[in-house]
Amino acid sequence: MAVYTDVTEPDLSAFLERYDLGRLLSYKGIAEGVENSNFLLRSDKGTFILTLYERRVARGDLPFFIGLMEHLAGRGLSCPLPVPARDGTALGELAGRPAALFTFLEGMWTRHPLAADCRQVGAAMARMHLAAADFPIRRENALSVGAWRPLYEACGGRADEVAAGLGEEIQTELGKLEAAWPSGLPAGVIHADLFPDNVFFLSGELSGLIDFYFACNDLLAYDLAIALCAWCFEPDQSFNVTKGRALLGGYESVRPLEREEVEVFPLLARGAAMRFLLTRLYDWLTIPDTSFVTKKDPLEYLRKSRFLRTIESVGDYGVDVRVGR
Amino acid sequence: MAVYTDVTEPDLSAFLERYDLGRLLSYKGIAEGVENSNFLLRSDKGTFILTLYERRVARGDLPFFIGLMEHLAGRGLSCPLPVPARDGTALGELAGRPAALFTFLEGMWTRHPLAADCRQVGAAMARMHLAAADFPIRRENALSVGAWRPLYEACGGRADEVAAGLGEEIQTELGKLEAAWPSGLPAGVIHADLFPDNVFFLSGELSGLIDFYFACNDLLAYDLAIALCAWCFEPDQSFNVTKGRALLGGYESVRPLEREEVEVFPLLARGAAMRFLLTRLYDWLTIPDTSFVTKKDPLEYLRKSRFLRTIESVGDYGVDVRVGR
């Protein structure tokens, strides 16, 4: 849950004077998004999401994020659409923070994904990758392979506080990932955080994607590897092959993977598990317990990482990927 | 902010089958209410508030709270109206907790009340007192004068950790309040927590009252004394006589105070300050810092208590109450 900044009605009313939204009827802080403060706002003209960008989001990245959502919505992808002010700009300032309004996306995220959901998520991700192909702004992935060792080192040798031997295990795996990490694969804009709470469904149909604030340029298949980690394990961290097959099959129904992407996919999945293991480990060790942030368990991703290290080819997931069509 | 319990869509859909709300479109946890979990819910039929009652609310009190809101709304007071299920009942169960749906009340609470707001609050409180006069269920005030000394003793002699000499100061004041606390004044159902975040305004007009979960039977003028503490002090805890006059004047425009109420009002205000000083002190000393609850500063109410002890008659507030019309 996230409402880091409160907003007064006079400040909000002044902000809204730039828009054609009619009379403000209500606004309520909502438990959505981790990095920013979000409000559900109602006016004569409908329901909107108001986002205030907090310090963890770099101001220089906002044109990428907001432009990407405009670009994707313009190509028919269902995602929040930035609402422009009368002067055409989508980004303003409120309570001393950059702020923007978005259309409200109906739907609910699923706490217990089904294989059919995974198939839809794969297809939606592929459509997003294709729709973003001609998006003109670039944003490097600040959390790709090159960032993982510095992130580990920022933990100050304290990994073993979380699990005995964890430090050595991470360093060994990091060495392998760094040595074998591919280049030259199909790349473009990826979501990079397409977890269940960022995908909405309505009556069993995927109704939209939200929270593009980790989006960046990276390998397309790496985005799919992140989703595999996020969607295809059960609560006990056992891998569900039916969900894995559905996710990859859904993706390939829109954008078939190339042979090289399939070959290197097990490594990308290990990398994805390492990325979330490391950010969770860092947060676990550095965020004070008195904080309002709910810290996520790094061990969940340690267990996923260990499973993924046993996989040598995509076939070992039980997934039958049709390559080279 | 408060979302203590998460809700899954299947559980919510099962809960909603008892209602005629059409298709569920979205639900989001909102930062409203302190004791319960609240969601803003949208369906084909409109926007609603879903409340899950957490442990701090006694189940036996729910018929009082829900019945009171139905009663008040039925008499034209603007407050959330419990939405009955098809079988006519407003109270169900969701995620193992008692749960109820309410109509959505447009409006926003004011972070910086004006005197004109205080006048409207006073009038709305008086209308509520009159509208509740024939409400048939009773609920004793668990936080009235008899509860204060036990609450102080539950702090375990640790008051001086918050301010030197605070323990002795509280005990002295408690003795005076207990000795002089009145009985026989006009009594009935009071809101007992009508702070600014529980009053909504729309374009400067009071649009409704919310959060009746401290409502109980007690002296009507004590409710007004609580509001005086909550609305008529500036952020530096200086008393604003213009706001005090507006609050009492607004109240008296609907229900003139009786002579005995006016005479004892300074004592009731001291009691109100003591009640919030003590609950805040108790929370301050007993809620762990790792909790998600934002603890409110007890010293705010110590400063208000000290000011109110200097007042001998309502006239000393600068308030000219017209008694005995």
| DSSP one-letter string for B58-75 | -GGGHHHHHHHHHHHHHT
Positions of chain A with pLDDT lower than 50, given as ranges: 1, 323-325
In the structure encoding, which two tokens stand for residue A273, read together? 């598990």
The count of CB pairs under 8 A between chains A and B is 78
Res A288: pLDDT: 76
Rounded to 5 degrees, what are φ and ψ at A263?
A: -60, -40
Contact A190, A223 (CB under 8 A): yes
The whole-number pLDDT of residue A61 equals: 95
What's the gap between Cα B308 and its chain centre? 20
Residue with tokens 């300032």, as numbered in its chain: A93
CA pair distance A259, B314, nearest whole angstrom: 85
> Coil, strand or helix: which one is B219?
strand
Phi, psi torsion values for B97, nearest 5 degrees: -125, 150
Q: CA–CA separation, B170 vs A147, rounded Å?
A: 56
The span from the CA of B199 to the CA of A302, in Å, is 48
B233 - beta bridge partners? Answer: B239
Residue B162 · residue B188 · CB < 8 Å: no
Q: Does position B293 have pLDDT exceeding 70, yes or no?
A: no
The arithmetic mean of pLDDT across residues B108-126, rounded, is 96
Cα–Cα distance for residue pair B77/B69, rounded to 1 Å: 9
Quick check: A29 and B30 CB within 8 A?
yes
pLDDT tens track for B141-193: 999 999 999 999 999 999 999 999 999 999 999 999 999 999 999 999 999 99
In DSSP notation, A148-195 reads: HHHHHHHTTT-GGGTSTTHHHHHHHHHHHHHHH---SS-EEEE-S---
Q: Determine the Cα–Cα distance for residues B132 and B307; give it in Å rounded to an integer.
A: 32
What do you get for the CA distance between the two ends of chain A, in Å? 44
Q: Where in chain A is the domain with CATH 3.90.1200.10?
A: 115-317
Say yes or no: A27 contacts chain B, CB-CB below 8 A. Answer: yes
Neighbours of B236 (CB within 10 A): 6
On the question of pLDDT at B135 being above 50, the answer is yes
Q: Measured between CA atoms, how close is B288 to chain A, in angstroms?
A: 9
pLDDT of A1 reads 41
Q: How far apart are CA A27 and CA A97, in angstroms?
A: 17
Match 């975040």 to its residue by tokens.
B197
Are the Cβ atoms of A1 and B6 closer than 8 angstroms? no
Q: Please count the residues of chain B.
A: 325
Reading phi first (left if > 0) and then psi (alpha if -120 to 50, else beta), residue B96 is in left
Residue for token pair 């042979």: A259
Q: Which of A8, A104, A110 sits opposite B111 (nearest CB)?
A: A8
What pTM, to 2 d.p., does this model score? Answer: 0.87
Tokens of residue A132, six digits: 């973003």
Partners of A201 on chain B (C-beta within 8 Å) are 9
State which H helix or E strand residue B199 sits in: strand B199-202
Rounded CA-CA distance B127/A261 in Å is 70
Length in residues, chain A: 325
User: Tell me, what's the pLDDT at B55?
Assistant: 82
Distance of alpha carbon B321 from alpha carbon B308, whole angstroms: 17
Joined together, the tokens standing for residue B200 give 């909504």
Q: Can you tell me the distance from the alpha carbon of A114 to that of A101, in angstroms, rounded to the nearest whole number?
A: 32
Does ipTM top 0.90? no
**CATH code, residues B9-103:** 3.30.200.20
Which H helix or E strand runs over A295? none
Q: B32, A28: Cβ pair inside 8 Å?
A: yes
Q: HSE on the CB side for B186, CA within 13 Å?
A: 19
- Give me A304's structure tokens: 């996923």
Residue B137's DSSP bridge partners are none
pLDDT at B318 over 80: no
The dihedral through the CA atoms of B55, B60, B64, B67 has a sign that is positive
Residue type present at position B74:
G
DSSP label of B269: H
Please compute the mean of the pLDDT values over residues B228-237 and round it to a whole number: 95
Q: Which fold has domain A115-317?
A: Aminoglycoside 3'-phosphotransferase; Chain: A, domain 2 (3.90.1200)
Buried-state track B208-223, b at ≥16 Cβ within 10 A, e below 16: bbbbbbbbbbbbbbbb
Distance separating alpha carbons of residues A267 and A251, to the nearest angstrom:
18
Among the partner-chain residues B8, B24, B28, the one whose CB lies closest to the CB of A111 is B8
**Cβ of residue A295 closer than 8 Å to a chain B Cβ:** no
Specify the pLDDT at position B325: 40
* Spatial separation of the C-alpha atoms in residues B307 and B237, rounded to whole Å: 9
* A3·B107 Cβ contact <8 A: no
Q: Of all residues in chain B, what percent carry a pLDDT higher than 90? A: 86
Chain B, window 32-51: residues with a beta carbon less than 8 angstroms from a chain A beta carbon: 32, 40, 42, 47
pLDDT for B320 equals 66
